């Protein structure tokens, strides 16, 4: 596979408008929520389901379970 070579010209590209920086700082992108360790017994079929889905989406299955519980509590809060 060959790389394309870019060519630039000195042509007029239009009026330039400077915009304010609206992007968050990198450290603000890390979502840190206070967590607590719990022991939870789930059925094997539930764990197998979450592991299968997590593998498809390249996520830890615990993260998916945590998101499910968080959405449930947000809905009923």
Q: Which pLDDT value is given to residue 69?
A: 93
Contact 64, 50 (CB under 8 A): yes
Question: Which residues, at least 6 apart from 54, have a Cβ–Cβ distance to it below 8 Å?
Answer: 60, 61, 63, 64
**For the whole model, what pTM was predicted?**
0.58
Q: Tell me whether residue 72 is in a domain.
A: yes
Domain extent, residue 68, equals 44-77
Question: Around Cβ 71, how many Cβ atoms within 10 Å?
Answer: 10
How far apart CA 24 and CA 29 sit, in angstroms, is: 7
Q: Would residue 12 count as lying in a domain?
A: no
The CA distance from 5 to 15, in Å, is: 26
Q: How many domains does the chain have?
A: 1
4-16 mean pLDDT: 83
- Average pLDDT over all residues of the chain: 88
Region 12-38: mean pLDDT is 83
CB 46 within 8 A of CB 36: no
Q: Quick check: is 50 in a domain?
A: yes
Tell me whether residue 27 is in a domain: no
pLDDT for position 1: 65
């Amino acid at each position: 596979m060959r790389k394309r070579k870019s060519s630039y010209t000195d042509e007029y590209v239009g009026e330039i408008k400077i915009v304010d920086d609206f992007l968050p700082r990198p450290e603000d992108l890390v979502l840190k929520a206070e967590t607590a360790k719990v022991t939870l017994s789930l059925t094997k079929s539930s764990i197998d389901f979450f592991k299968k889905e997590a593998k498809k989406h390249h996520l830890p299955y615990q993260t998916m379970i945590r998101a499910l519980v968080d959405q449930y509590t947000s809905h009923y809060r």
